[in-house]
Structure formats: C-alpha cells, structure tokens
Amino acid sequence: MARATTFKGNPLELLGNELKPGDAAPAFTVTGNDLAPVTLGDTGGVRIVNVVPSLDTPVCDMQIKRFNEEAANLAGVSVYCVSCDLPFAQSRWCGAADVDKVTTLSDYKDGDFGAAWGTMIKDLRIESRAVFVINAHNTIVHAEYVPEMTEHPDYDAALAAARGAA
C-alpha cells in the first residue's frame, strides 16, 4: 500500500503526494456553499486549511469548533474547512453549530483538493484528517496528516504556524 491513514487501526490508502512545509500550495477547485467554484486563487493572505472526513462526526465537530473559536484571535488569518460533505449539509451544520468564522468548502464533485493535497481516501472517497497553514505567498508553512482519523490534529502547532506567518 502507498501512503495511508488509519481508522481505528485499519489502514486506508491515500491518493496523491504528501505535502511538506516549503512546498508550493497546489491549485485546487472546490465548491462553496453558494455552489460556485472556489480555487486557491480565490483565497489569499495567511490561511489555515482544516481538512476533515465529515462535519457530522464527533472529532470533526470538535476540530472545526476549535478553529472557529481560535479564529477570533487570529488577525489576518482566514480559516477554511474542506470535506466531501455537500455544500447544503455544510451550511446547515455551520448554522446549527454557530460556526461563523470558518469558511466551509466541499470537495464532493471530483475530489480535486484531496488528490492534489494528498488527503483523499481512495476506497471511501472522503477526506482524511489534516491541517495545513499557507502563507501569503502560497507556500505551505505547516502540514499535518493526522495518522489516525479518530485523533485530533496538533492545534497548537497549526495555530503557532499561522501566527508566525501572519
């Protein structure tokens, strides 16, 4: 098996290459909540890109809420969440969870983000758990592929990278 993540200890193959700090942020096209395409070029400045399997799972729920809370203290940093959830479900979840500082983006159409960023789980066609920080020059300054999908990312490391890049 190539690159993998695990879910409750069971390996799952990831598509694409692993990105590392210093790499250029790969181009992508995802879908916004208004169903319009969103590309890397549509974003700018310092960004945290929070990647989750599904907003409606316990760890993902906590992860997005944590970044939403932290976003209030991150001047000049935009926070995004990418999943394969439909844009309608993302909007509904954000409204119900009072998440208003994170922009949700859907990779449901063709998995373009997941393939380019190395987060797409081949057999499940959902994203694995990962966090990236991109600086204003579209260079990745922090990359974490969480090895076990039921575990949380290193929030402190991602937040420190974002603050350092801002």
Catalytic residue among 60, 81, 84, 94: 60
DSSP string, the chain: --SEEEETTEEEEBPSPPP-TTSBPPP-EEE-TTS-EEEGGG--SEEEEEE-S-TTSHHHHHHHHHHHHHHTT-TTEEEEEEESS-HHHHHHHHHHHT--SEEEEE-TTT-HHHHHHT-EETTTTEE--EEEEE-TTSBEEEEEE-SBTTS---HHHHHHHHHHH-
Question: Catalytic site residue 60?
Answer: yes
What are the residue numbers of the active site?
60
